[in-house]
Amino acid sequence: MRDVAVRFRAAYGAPGRHLLLLVGCFAVAGWVALRLAGEATAGRMLLWFVGAAIAHDFVLFPIYGSADRALRAAVGERRARPASGPSLLNHLRVPALAAALLFLVYLPGILRQGRETYLAATGQDQQPFLARWLLVSAALFLASGVLYAYRRWRARNA
Amino acid sequence: MSADRTSPGDHPGPPPQTEPPGRPAYGFPRRGWALLAEHPPPGARRIGERWRSPLRGPWLTAVYGLALLVGLPLVFLTGLLDYLAYSPQFGQALPHDVGWLRLPPFDWPTGPSWLFRVTQGLHVALGITLIPIVLGKLWSVIPKLFDWPPARSVAQLLERLSLVLLVGGILFEIATGLLNIQYAYLFGFDFYTAHYFGAWVFVAALVTHVALKLRRMLTALRSRPVLAELAVPRDATRPEPPDPDGLVAARPGPATVTRRGALALVGGLSLLLAGLTVGQNFDGRWRSTALLLPRGRQPGEGPTGFPVNRTAAAAGVRAADNGAGWRLALRADGRQASLDRAALLAMPQHTARLPIACVEGWSTLQTWTGVRLRDLAALVGAGQPGSAHVRSLEKAGQFAQATLQANQVLDPDSLLALRVNGVDLTPDHGYPARVIVPALPGVHCTKWVAEIEFRRQPDA
């Protein structure tokens, strides 16, 4: 019996409970897929499900990874990791990342998507959101800039 | 800074190897997996050498993982509670038919009146707050996506497939949820169906993932005491020792951020999102702090200047329907009554301060005045109804009607409201009359009520 378990483990690559867990996981997903297969929009759901992972891994990540590399090259290694004092790179990275995240999360309002459903639900338009996002982003960069200047000043006078 | 303040888990030993020790052995068929490993697609090796961040490693992944392990179950459970709040026993929770994923039957309570406001507010706000942590966790493990060989055994292959369900699942839930609360139905499928079933697929993958990785997470957390790690300065931030999962970069560069910085960044972004979201649950000045959300805006001034979730125009309710000719029809067991607004105002009036809380995670607390639903039931001789079916003047629409549970009809604060904050309802708020029940989801507090049928049975 023990021998069987050892051989299974070597062939499969993990103990039996690993397989049991994964079978359970795929059973739920498979059952949901079968259940939704009859829906007219099942294909779209699948597309969005797989597309969400692909969009993150092969679009969003390369974009922010490359943007960070470009920013780092533009700032220069010396100011990215100064021997003393604050890092200019990080004081740009943080507000840039925050602004990008806000854009992503609140994108429908900023880009005025779904105008009709929005109007039906709220009786309003989405006019103010783009300006608000720009203002919040500007405020984040400004705050980061002020903090950078203060930290530099303090590091020099330390 | 003294040079000896290195990370507690660091090894001063040999530089990281390209192939860390402890990688899982090849399973059956050995030769097949080995062959796969020897033939990487062009560029695969170069990608492996491009990972530079010295922060990536089991410890950082474990910290993000722990935060999600605490937060995500709460989002899931509050999501299920919201489904239950729609009274699935009447077939009015969406999606209607969920087969084996049916939840145990249970009467959603009417107290405390803020119950749904809190569960749904938490579901949406916490879901949004966790987005940076999800992205941070994905960043920390992304080198594994480009790992070659992609698997060394059937076990690993299956596990990686389950990660498609895990990552696709959480991103699908985030994307559909965010689009729903902002009324942009770009996806073109039914939100409720997708979000409900998507959640179960995700949770099944999450349970599997946690069962397989929990021990590794705990080991990683213990490898570097958190407080000591947070005190390590940038110059002394070193990569973790090579790990069997290959999270640690093969050729890490120098650190530009401390581990404390990486955690503070993700935590700070979470706080930023939370700060721009929670305001949609408050009235007055606080509401406007939800700067970028639909419900951060006060739609008007005065006693009726609070948000609605459907305008009279959108519902197709015209002045001809809800004008002087409007009558409320009451029915019970073949008995009928018809009342105009003056007759309703002549009945005993009750005032209650109750929230309207919407599934989109916003809410507002107002003072409603009207006739108790139980008084209306008594009027047609249905003193102890099993349920009540409320129909709106609205012709079409998913929420043109709703069934109320017995406790929701009989609660002393359950009203057919005629006035709000001391003035008549406006058309957008449901004039001539609307239902308001403590702790009931906003869309089931039917507006422009045309008819209420009290039923003896709890199910129609």
Q: Which segment of A25-39, B31-45, B172-186 scores lowest on mean pLDDT?
A: B31-45
Residues 6+ apart with CB under 8 A from B125: B274, B277, B278, B281, B361
Residue B49 pLDDT greater than 90, yes or no: no
Supply the pTM of this predicted model: 0.94
C-alpha closest to that of B345 among B414, B438, B433:
B433
Which residues in chain A touch residue B167, judged by CB atoms under 8 angstroms apart?
Answer: 53, 56-57
Average pLDDT, chain B: 92
State the pLDDT confidence band at B16, using cuts at 50, 70 and 90. very low
Contact yes or no for B386/B455 (Cβ under 8 A): yes
Q: Which segment of B15-29, B61-75, B92-106 scores lowest on mean pLDDT?
A: B15-29
Residue B6 pLDDT greater than 60, yes or no: no
Cis peptide before A95 (omega within 30 of 0): no
For A30, A53, A129, B202, the CA distances from A36, given in Å and listed in that order, are: 10, 20, 36, 15
Q: Which of B172, B255, B257 sits opposite A52 (nearest CB)?
A: B172
Which residues in chain B touch residue A87, judged by CB atoms under 8 angstroms apart?
Answer: 234, 256
pLDDT of the residue at B17: 43
Q: Do A52 and B205 touch (CB under 8 A)?
A: no
Hey, of A12, A28, A107, which one would you mutate to test binding to chain B, going by the most B CBs within 10 A of its CB? Answer: A28
Nearest CA in chain A to B295: A122
Q: Do B183 and A118 touch (CB under 8 A)?
A: yes
A119/chain B closest Cα distance in angstroms: 8
State the pLDDT confidence band at B74, using cuts at 50, 70 and 90. very high
pLDDT of the residue at B459: 63
Which residues in chain B touch residue A126, judged by CB atoms under 8 angstroms apart?
Answer: 294
Which residues in chain B touch residue A123, judged by CB atoms under 8 angstroms apart?
Answer: 299, 308, 311, 313-314, 428
Which residues in chain A touch residue B290, judged by CB atoms under 8 angstroms apart?
Answer: none
Residue range B212-260, pLDDT digits in tens: 999 999 999 999 999 999 999 999 999 999 998 889 999 999 999 999 9
Average pLDDT, chain A: 95
Residue B5 pLDDT greater than 50, yes or no: no
- Chain B segment 49-88 residues within 8 A of A by beta carbon are none
Distance, in Å, from the CA atom of B272 to the CA atom of B53, rounded to the nearest integer, reads: 25
Distance, in Å, from the CA atom of A21 to the CA atom of A42, rounded to the nearest integer, reads: 26
pLDDT of the residue at A83: 84
Residue B3 pLDDT greater than 90, yes or no: no
Q: Is B420 helix (H, G, I), strand (E, B) or coil?
A: strand
A142/chain B closest Cα distance in angstroms: 16
Tokens of B376: 């209306």
User: Burial code of A6-45, b = ≥16 C-beta within 10 A, e = fewer?
Assistant: eeebeebbbeeebbebbeebbebbebbbebbeebebbeeb
Residue range B265-324, pLDDT digits in tens: 999 999 999 999 999 999 999 999 999 999 999 888 899 999 999 999 999 998 878 888
Does the interface ipTM go beyond 0.85?
yes
Q: CA Rg, chain B, in Å? A: 28
- Region A81-100: mean pLDDT is 94
Residue range B136-183, pLDDT digits in tens: 999 999 999 998 899 999 999 999 999 999 999 999 999 999 999 999
- Region A41-69: mean pLDDT is 96
Which residues in chain A touch residue B292, judged by CB atoms under 8 angstroms apart?
Answer: 102, 105-106, 109-110, 129, 132-133, 136
Contact yes or no for A39/B193 (Cβ under 8 A): yes
Q: Is A44 on the interface with B (CB under 8 A)?
A: yes
